[in-house]
Structure 1
Amino acid sequence: MIVFVARDIAGGSSSYEIINQYISNKTGNGINSADRRFDVTLLINGLPMIHIELKTQNHTYMDAYTQIKKYTREGHFHGLFSCVQMFVVSNGSTTRYFAPAAATDLNGKFLTRWSNEDNQPVEDLQSFAEQVLSIPMGHKMVAHFSVLDYAHRRLLLMRPYQIHALEAVYESAIARQSGFVWHTTGSGKTITAYKVCQRLLWIPSVDHTVYIVDRRDLDDQAKDTFASYSRFENFTVEGTDNTTELITALANKKTDSYCDYCTETRSSYRCLCEEIPWQRSEASSGIAFGNDRRRMPSINFR
């Protein structure tokens, strides 16, 4: 039985509903147990996917966050509401979003503020709803811009700059353009790279993507991270230790979808490009990731 199709956005098998003031019955007989009234929930195919808690202007948005944490601790997000993939809290003028987690793992310091493609912050609820919660973006937030980290048993939601980078890469690949993505150290380059590899495989003419790193420590990080993120995906992640292994692996990939990663220097990459009989398709492109803007413009894929 199929209940949710990630790519059926604003059509196909997807239907959308909004409910408010849903009453979640108390989960026990303790002194602190009580019925709770949820503010607004967005449903996709009848499943609650995005939950919103609101406060008035004379309250801070953190009061709404504290309320969600309390509801989580009391066990109200169970049953169908365990399907919630994204929380939104707002007092009308300040809005944040975050991924669900156990009450002990929620941290108010890691709520995310939305920003537009020009990196301008979006604070008020009306603008946030128009840019993030409307369809198709609301559907894409939970279906395309989330990552299930199996190793750490947690759900991750991409940050705005990662989302804008992913969308730009995809559009560039369709147009057969190459480029680079610049993220600062510690800002989530690996997540962005993983989602790029996954997203490019959606293009019908793309059978595999290659993620190349130039240091062994990055290789270990990519290997563990990609394996964890792709645990329940419909493509295979494989690693190679050198150019020869990568060439052999690519030559043997015929029909299945793969994401390969390899540790190589730039000189080895040039050798790789010369040895592989690349078939240029409409989606062929090269994307580089880095945290040093001075070096990035010198990287060119042809």
Structure 2
Amino acid sequence: MDNNQFHFTEELVVQNAEGTGNRRPDIVCFVNGLPLVVVEAKRPDSNKEGKSTNVEAISQHIRNQKQDEIPHLYAYSQLLLAINGHEGLYATCGTQDKFWAKWKEEQIPEAEFVRLKNHKLSDEELNALFNHRPAKDKTDYQSLLAAGDLTVTDQDRLIVSLLRPERLLDMTRLFTLFDKKAGKIVARYQQVFGIKALIERINTFDDTGAREGGVIWHTTGSGKSFTMVFLSKALIWLEELAQCRVIIVTDRVDLEDQLSRTFASGGVLTDRDKKMQWQRLESV
């Protein structure tokens, strides 16, 4: 963690692929100089009744990834955020608008969100944030703080949960994968915390050296195949778990085929490994 550098900037000017104009993503977060997060921020009040302004933020993300726009910025991005002051949604590159999701935090207590939202900034920090802005912006901000504690919103929870340095690196390393068919995929919060619980359980032994078992329950179409791929990826990446073995038991052949294709497509198995593994199972 200490070997990484974290920066962000507002209104980053990025020339489009054809050199005919620029786009300005609202916020870009850099890790070691790589733009790993792109944020589009909108006003909370919408001109379209019943529609969140986050719809516009998502639309801009999707537009900016087109080949004649600024896809070269998104080539490095792992997380995309759409925020509007009250709400927040996240996705990754290539995610369709219907798959953008909310985040529900299970490890950070609400009191921590409140503390961070109302943390008093030093004069140096205030100057860094407001010296390049109209003086009214700083006055308005100070008036908000003087009125009492600020209310934590879903936008705040999303930003704090996903953009803490350790969580961002976790999401990049363990919970983002490239699928040959679906493209880049980022885990939902249920998958993240389910896999974290699995890793903790695998690393916990009783006095006899045994582990407890457990169940993660999925509904149909909720991403259980990708949960398996994310878990396998975590086992490979985490040095203390690299020698683990995964045995998948299914109750029908078509599910075996589906899972083997998902593992191979997600890069956990090569096609050759997939064939060898399933041949061994069939011969048992």
Q: Where in structure 2 are there 5+ consecutive unaligned residues?
A: 47-52, 108-151, 205-210
Deviations along 1:71-103, one digit per CA (max 9) or x if unpaired, are 2236343435421122110101111011212xx
Tell me the TM-score normalised to structure 1 length. 0.66
Amino acid at match of 2:56: D
Say if 1:92 and 1:232 are closer, same or farther in 2 by CA, change over 3 A: farther
Amino acid at match of 1:229: G
The reply to whether residue 140 of structure 1 matches residue 170 of structure 2 is yes
Tell me the TM-score normalised to structure 2 length. 0.70
The reply to whether residue 15 of structure 1 matches residue 5 of structure 2 is yes
SS in 1 for 2:247: strand
Does the aligned pair in 2 maintain the 1:86–1:100 contact within 8 Å? yes
Say if 1:243 and 1:227 are closer, same or farther in 2 by CA, change over 3 A: closer
Q: Where in structure 1 are there 5+ consecutive unaligned residues?
A: 1-9, 247-302
Q: Displacement of 1:147 after TM fit? A: 1.5
Does the aligned pair in 1 maintain the 2:92–2:186 contact within 8 Å? yes
Deviations along 1:33-82, one digit per CA (max 9) or x if unpaired, are 53211111111221111110101122411111122222223634343542
Instruction: Output the CA distance in 2 between the equivalents of 1:196 and 1:39.
Output: 33
Q: Displacement of 1:212 after TM fit? A: 2.3
Does the aligned pair in 1 maintain the 2:74–2:93 contact within 8 Å? no
What pairs with 1:171-190 in structure 2 (closer than 5 Å)?
Answer: 171-175=200-204, 176-190=211-225
What pairs with 1:10-49 in structure 2 (closer than 5 Å)?
Answer: 10-12=1-3, 14-28=4-18, 33-49=20-36
The reply to whether residue 87 of structure 1 matches residue 80 of structure 2 is yes
SS in 1 for 2:249: strand
What pairs with 1:1-302 in structure 2 (closer than 5 Å)?
Answer: 10-12=1-3, 14-28=4-18, 33-59=20-46, 60-73=53-66, 75-101=68-94, 107-117=96-106, 124-150=154-180, 152=181, 154-175=183-204, 176-201=211-236, 202-204=238-240, 206-230=243-267, 238-241=276-279, 245=283
Deviations along 1:129-168, one digit per CA (max 9) or x if unpaired, are 1111111111212221111102x16001111111111111
Greater share of helix residues, 1 or 2? 2
Amino acid at match of 1:117: E
Q: What percentage of residue pairs aligned between the two structures are identical?
A: 24
SS in 1 for 2:86: coil
Asked which structure has the greater RCO (Cα within 8 Å, sep 6+), the reply is 1
